[in-house]
Amino acid sequence: MNRPYIAPAIRPATHADEHALAVIDRATWSTTVSPAALWPVGTPFFDEHTQPENVLVAHDDTHIVGYLKLRPYPHPACSDHIQEIHGFAVSPSQQGRGIGSFLIRAAQKEAIRRQARRVRLRVLGTNLRAQRLYLAHRFQVEGRLREQFLIAGQYVDDVLMGTLLG
Ligand SMILES: CC(C)(COP(=O)(O)OP(=O)(O)OC[C@H]1O[C@@H](n2cnc3c(N)ncnc32)[C@H](O)[C@@H]1OP(=O)(O)O)[C@@H](O)C(=O)NCCC(=O)NCCS
Protein backbone atom coordinates (compact mmCIF):
# COMPACT_ATOMS: atom_id res chain seq x y z
CA MET A 1 0.00 0.00 0.00
CA ASN A 2 1.34 3.45 -0.89
CA ARG A 3 1.34 5.73 2.12
CA PRO A 4 1.48 9.52 1.95
CA TYR A 5 5.02 10.79 2.19
CA ILE A 6 5.50 13.23 5.06
CA ALA A 7 8.27 15.70 5.84
CA PRO A 8 8.82 15.51 9.59
CA ALA A 9 10.64 18.19 11.54
CA ILE A 10 13.95 17.01 12.98
CA ARG A 11 15.53 18.27 16.20
CA PRO A 12 17.89 17.06 18.94
CA ALA A 13 16.17 15.14 21.72
CA THR A 14 15.64 16.47 25.23
CA HIS A 15 15.10 14.58 28.49
CA ALA A 16 11.39 15.39 28.14
CA ASP A 17 11.28 12.98 25.15
CA GLU A 18 12.23 9.99 27.34
CA HIS A 19 8.81 8.34 27.45
CA ALA A 20 7.91 8.78 23.78
CA LEU A 21 11.29 7.43 22.69
CA ALA A 22 11.10 4.44 25.04
CA VAL A 23 7.67 3.58 23.62
CA ILE A 24 8.96 3.64 20.02
CA ASP A 25 12.01 1.65 21.06
CA ARG A 26 9.95 -1.17 22.55
CA ALA A 27 7.34 -1.11 19.77
CA THR A 28 10.00 -1.64 17.09
CA TRP A 29 12.03 -4.34 18.85
CA SER A 30 12.08 -7.71 17.10
CA THR A 31 14.58 -10.50 16.56
CA THR A 32 15.22 -8.99 13.11
CA VAL A 33 16.16 -5.64 14.62
CA SER A 34 18.23 -6.51 17.69
CA PRO A 35 20.33 -9.40 18.97
CA ALA A 36 19.43 -8.36 22.55
CA ALA A 37 16.39 -9.69 24.38
CA LEU A 38 13.46 -7.31 24.80
CA TRP A 39 14.25 -5.14 27.81
CA PRO A 40 11.78 -4.73 30.68
CA VAL A 41 9.12 -2.02 30.61
CA GLY A 42 10.50 1.04 32.39
CA THR A 43 14.08 0.62 31.16
CA PRO A 44 15.33 4.18 30.62
CA PHE A 45 15.90 5.27 27.02
CA PHE A 46 18.65 7.67 28.02
CA ASP A 47 21.67 6.26 29.85
CA GLU A 48 25.44 6.70 29.91
CA HIS A 49 25.67 5.47 26.30
CA THR A 50 22.74 7.52 24.99
CA GLN A 51 22.65 11.22 25.77
CA PRO A 52 19.91 13.50 24.36
CA GLU A 53 22.39 15.53 22.30
CA ASN A 54 23.22 12.34 20.39
CA VAL A 55 19.63 11.55 19.47
CA LEU A 56 17.79 13.15 16.55
CA VAL A 57 14.01 13.01 16.83
CA ALA A 58 11.53 13.28 13.99
CA HIS A 59 8.13 14.70 14.88
CA ASP A 60 4.94 15.72 13.17
CA ASP A 61 2.56 18.38 14.50
CA THR A 62 1.67 16.36 17.59
CA HIS A 63 3.94 13.35 18.11
CA ILE A 64 7.47 12.07 17.98
CA VAL A 65 7.41 9.58 15.10
CA GLY A 66 10.99 8.33 15.03
CA TYR A 67 14.53 8.73 16.23
CA LEU A 68 18.12 8.08 15.25
CA LYS A 69 21.08 7.84 17.65
CA LEU A 70 24.31 9.29 16.28
CA ARG A 71 27.38 9.30 18.50
CA PRO A 72 31.13 9.72 18.16
CA TYR A 73 32.72 6.33 17.55
CA PRO A 74 33.68 5.30 21.08
CA HIS A 75 37.24 4.23 20.44
CA PRO A 76 40.72 5.74 20.26
CA ALA A 77 41.37 9.36 19.35
CA CYS A 78 42.61 8.21 15.94
CA SER A 79 38.95 7.42 15.17
CA ASP A 80 37.65 10.90 16.03
CA HIS A 81 36.63 11.40 12.40
CA ILE A 82 33.97 8.66 12.70
CA GLN A 83 30.35 8.98 13.82
CA GLU A 84 28.26 5.90 14.48
CA ILE A 85 24.54 5.23 14.08
CA HIS A 86 23.69 2.93 16.97
CA GLY A 87 19.90 3.04 17.11
CA PHE A 88 17.25 4.00 14.58
CA ALA A 89 13.49 3.45 14.59
CA VAL A 90 10.23 4.83 13.27
CA SER A 91 6.84 4.20 14.94
CA PRO A 92 5.28 1.13 13.30
CA SER A 93 2.17 3.11 12.27
CA GLN A 94 4.34 5.71 10.52
CA GLN A 95 6.78 3.46 8.64
CA GLY A 96 7.03 3.60 4.85
CA ARG A 97 6.33 7.33 4.65
CA GLY A 98 9.91 8.52 4.19
CA ILE A 99 10.58 9.38 7.85
CA GLY A 100 13.51 6.97 8.09
CA SER A 101 15.03 8.54 4.98
CA PHE A 102 14.66 11.99 6.51
CA LEU A 103 16.42 10.83 9.66
CA ILE A 104 19.32 9.30 7.76
CA ARG A 105 19.81 12.47 5.73
CA ALA A 106 19.65 14.56 8.92
CA ALA A 107 22.24 12.26 10.54
CA GLN A 108 24.57 12.66 7.56
CA LYS A 109 24.24 16.46 7.83
CA GLU A 110 24.82 16.36 11.57
CA ALA A 111 27.90 14.15 11.10
CA ILE A 112 29.31 16.71 8.63
CA ARG A 113 28.54 19.50 11.11
CA ARG A 114 30.57 17.51 13.67
CA GLN A 115 33.40 17.44 11.13
CA ALA A 116 33.20 13.68 10.67
CA ARG A 117 34.56 12.06 7.55
CA ARG A 118 32.73 8.80 7.86
CA VAL A 119 29.57 7.26 9.37
CA ARG A 120 29.42 3.59 10.28
CA LEU A 121 26.79 1.23 11.66
CA ARG A 122 26.00 -2.42 12.25
CA VAL A 123 22.81 -4.11 11.10
CA LEU A 124 21.57 -7.67 11.39
CA GLY A 125 21.87 -9.71 8.21
CA THR A 126 18.14 -10.49 8.44
CA ASN A 127 17.13 -6.80 8.56
CA LEU A 128 16.88 -6.37 4.81
CA ARG A 129 14.55 -3.38 4.97
CA ALA A 130 17.03 -1.32 6.98
CA GLN A 131 19.89 -2.46 4.74
CA ARG A 132 17.99 -1.34 1.61
CA LEU A 133 17.43 2.06 3.19
CA TYR A 134 21.10 2.48 4.09
CA LEU A 135 22.18 1.38 0.60
CA ALA A 136 19.80 3.98 -0.86
CA HIS A 137 21.63 6.61 1.18
CA ARG A 138 25.15 5.89 -0.03
CA PHE A 139 26.12 3.37 2.64
CA GLN A 140 28.03 0.34 1.46
CA VAL A 141 28.50 -3.08 3.00
CA GLU A 142 32.05 -2.98 4.34
CA GLY A 143 32.13 -6.29 6.13
CA ARG A 144 30.11 -9.18 7.39
CA LEU A 145 30.74 -11.18 10.55
CA ARG A 146 29.22 -14.46 9.48
CA GLU A 147 26.87 -16.23 11.91
CA GLN A 148 27.85 -13.77 14.64
CA PHE A 149 24.60 -14.23 16.56
CA LEU A 150 22.35 -17.17 17.40
CA ILE A 151 18.89 -15.58 17.52
CA ALA A 152 15.74 -17.62 18.05
CA GLY A 153 17.55 -20.75 16.86
CA GLN A 154 18.93 -19.13 13.68
CA TYR A 155 22.51 -18.02 13.01
CA VAL A 156 22.51 -14.39 11.85
CA ASP A 157 25.29 -12.29 10.30
CA ASP A 158 26.39 -8.95 11.73
CA VAL A 159 26.69 -6.62 8.72
CA LEU A 160 29.03 -3.64 8.92
CA MET A 161 28.04 -0.68 6.74
CA GLY A 162 29.61 2.71 6.25
CA THR A 163 29.66 5.81 4.11
CA LEU A 164 32.24 8.48 3.43
CA LEU A 165 30.82 11.98 3.72
CA GLY A 166 31.21 14.90 1.41
C1 LIG B 1 14.20 0.85 9.28
C2 LIG B 1 13.16 1.93 9.60
C3 LIG B 1 13.73 2.90 10.62
C4 LIG B 1 12.84 2.67 8.30
O5 LIG B 1 11.94 3.73 8.59
P6 LIG B 1 10.82 4.20 7.53
O7 LIG B 1 10.29 5.48 8.00
O8 LIG B 1 9.88 3.10 7.32
O9 LIG B 1 11.73 4.42 6.24
P10 LIG B 1 11.26 5.05 4.83
O11 LIG B 1 9.80 5.26 4.83
O12 LIG B 1 12.13 6.22 4.56
O13 LIG B 1 11.66 3.91 3.83
C14 LIG B 1 11.19 2.57 4.03
C15 LIG B 1 10.58 2.04 2.77
O16 LIG B 1 9.39 2.76 2.46
C17 LIG B 1 9.48 3.25 1.13
N18 LIG B 1 8.74 4.48 1.11
C19 LIG B 1 9.02 5.61 1.76
N20 LIG B 1 8.05 6.51 1.49
C21 LIG B 1 7.15 5.93 0.68
C22 LIG B 1 5.93 6.34 0.07
N23 LIG B 1 5.41 7.55 0.21
N24 LIG B 1 5.25 5.46 -0.68
C25 LIG B 1 5.75 4.22 -0.85
N26 LIG B 1 6.89 3.78 -0.31
C27 LIG B 1 7.59 4.62 0.44
C28 LIG B 1 10.96 3.39 0.91
O29 LIG B 1 11.30 3.39 -0.48
C30 LIG B 1 11.45 2.13 1.56
O31 LIG B 1 11.13 1.05 0.73
P32 LIG B 1 11.79 -0.39 0.90
O33 LIG B 1 11.46 -0.88 2.31
O34 LIG B 1 11.15 -1.21 -0.15
O35 LIG B 1 13.26 -0.20 0.69
C36 LIG B 1 11.83 1.30 10.13
O37 LIG B 1 11.41 0.32 9.23
C38 LIG B 1 11.96 0.72 11.51
O39 LIG B 1 11.77 1.39 12.53
N40 LIG B 1 12.31 -0.59 11.58
C41 LIG B 1 12.50 -1.25 12.86
C42 LIG B 1 13.78 -0.80 13.51
C43 LIG B 1 15.00 -1.05 12.63
O44 LIG B 1 15.05 -2.00 11.86
N45 LIG B 1 16.01 -0.20 12.79
C46 LIG B 1 17.28 -0.31 12.08
C47 LIG B 1 18.24 -1.09 12.93
S48 LIG B 1 19.84 -1.20 12.16
User: If you average pLDDT over residues 28-49, what whole number do you get?
Assistant: 94
44-76 confidence digits (pLDDT tens): 999 999 999 999 999 999 999 999 999 999 887
User: If you average pLDDT over residues 31-42, what whole number do you get?
Assistant: 93
76-104 as b/e: b if 16+ CB within 10 A: eeeeeebbbbbbbbbbeebbebbbbebbb
Ordered by where they begin, the domains of the chain are 9-119 (3.40.630.30)
78-134 confidence digits (pLDDT tens): 999 999 999 999 999 999 999 999 999 999 999 999 999 999 999 999 999 999 999
Q: How far is CA 3 from CA 97, 99, 144, 165, in A?
A: 6, 11, 33, 30
Give the pLDDT confidence score for residue 98 in this predicted structure.
Answer: 95
Residue nearest atom 39 in ligand 1 by C-alpha distance: 89
> 129 alpha carbon to ligand 1 midpoint, in Å?
7
> 78 alpha carbon to ligand 1 midpoint, in Å?
33
pLDDT at 42 over 80: yes
pLDDT at 5 over 90: no
CA dihedral 82, 83, 86, 89 (to 10 degrees): -140
CB of 104 closer than 6 angstroms to any ligand 1 atom:
no
Residue nearest atom 25 in ligand 1 by C-alpha distance: 2
Beta strands in 26-117, from DSSP E residues, in sequence order: 55-59, 64-72, 82-90
Give the pLDDT confidence score for residue 2 in this predicted structure.
Answer: 64
pLDDT at 4 over 90: no
pLDDT at 1 over 60: no
Residue nearest atom 27 in ligand 1 by C-alpha distance: 96
CB of 124 closer than 6 angstroms to any ligand 1 atom:
no
